[in-house]
Amino acid sequence: MKPAPFEYHSPTSLEQALEIKAQYGDDAKLLAGGQSLVPAMNFRIVQPGMLIDLNRVNELSYIHEEKNTLRIGAMTRERHLEFDSSIAKRTPLLHEAAPFIAHPQIRNRGTIGGSIVNADPAAELPVLMLALDARLKAQNKSGERWIKAEDFFVGMFTTALEPDEILVEIELPFMRPRTGWSFMEIAPRAGDYALMGVAALVTLNENGRCDSAKLVYLNAGDGPVDAKETAKSLEGNLLGDALIESAAVTAGEKEINPFGNVHTSPEFQRHLAKVLTKNALKQSMRRAEENKQ
């Protein structure tokens, strides 16, 4: 099908985009990469009256390092996350996970900000933002505010952004020393939506015990699911097989809340979550040991 008619604006600066957003609020939908929005428009699931196309706002596309953080402009294409050397060095979890985001043809167009704001519970980037303790910069005509990833995702396809705000920047802290990472997902075919997936980070202390851990799941609830209780059960302990096994059970049976879909039952998703938790924790631990400096 074809999209319903809409009014189109193509600002060339953030200032112009914010001006239009201030004027029209929720009546104006932002068009980033369009890899989720345009399919929904083609199906007429959504029929926005107005689009503000951000693709000519070049100032929103960058990746740079600043004071122990990585700054990524919201309009940075997903394909760049895959090949950027700062990302590979500073946040290897993001580097490893980027190729799991759809197909190259989609990543060439899709943007980091667009996927975050879309807040699809089955998408990789919202999960990664939570796992990486991201801070997200929202801007409107009169100023800016920083929102922690954990406060940003408020429900299915829903974020904390106000109608006049635009997500402009993503700030990621550098990965800590003695930290290992892992990203794993199970999809019927490369590039398809995953049935289940997990992003893991494990930091070891000098004695080889777990100092802190993070496990965030995709397609496991109405947003990215941060398994805090599971992570807490690991802290201060040596990550032996028995502990990893019980962590997998806590995460898979208690903390996630998968709905199932045409490809999978919730029970199978829970099973996958347990297997992925074990594998991801083991890989993270191995890498943390190698990453001692």
Give me the residues that bind other proteins (CB under 8 A), please: 1-8, 10, 34-35, 38-39, 42-43, 49, 51, 53, 55, 79, 102-106, 108-109, 189-191
Helices (H), the chain: 14-24, 37-42, 78-83, 85-90, 92-97, 104-107, 112-118, 124-131, 149-152, 228-234, 241-249, 266-290
Q: How far is the CB of 32 from other proteins (least distance, A)?
A: 11
Nearest approach, Cβ of 140 to other proteins (angstroms)?
Answer: 25
CB nearer other proteins, residue 55 or residue 279:
55
Choose between 190 and 242: whose C-beta lies nearer to other proteins: 190
d(CA 128, CA 218): 9
Tell me which residue has tokens 């805090």: 228
| C-beta separation of 79 from 179 below 8 A | no
Picking from 50, 51, 4, the residue whose alpha carbon sits closest to that of residue 31 is 51
Shortest approach of other proteins to residue 239 CB, angstroms? 32
Q: Which residue lies nearer to other proteins by CB, 8 or 146?
A: 8
Positive/negative CA dihedral, 239, 257, 74, 14: negative
CA distance 10 to 109: 17
Least distance from other proteins to the Cβ atom of residue 186, Å: 15
**Rounded Cα–Cα distance for residues 167 and 161 (Å):** 8
Q: Which residue has the tokens 């990965």?
A: 175
Which is nearer to other proteins, 107 or 135 (by Cβ)? Answer: 107
Identity of the residue, 45 or 242, whose beta carbon is nearer to other proteins in the bound complex: 45
Going by C-beta distance under 8 Å and a sequence separation of 6 or more, which residues neighbour residue 237? Answer: 209, 210, 243
Task: State the minimum distance, in angstroms, from the CB of residue 29 to other proteins.
Answer: 13
Which one, 53 or 150, has the nearer CB to other proteins? 53
CA-CA distance, 289 to 293, in Å (whole number)?
Answer: 10
CB of 75 vs other proteins, minimal distance in Å: 13
Q: What's the closest the beta carbon of residue 5 comes to other proteins, in angstroms?
A: 6
Return the number of the residue (32 or 149) whose C-beta is nearest other proteins: 32
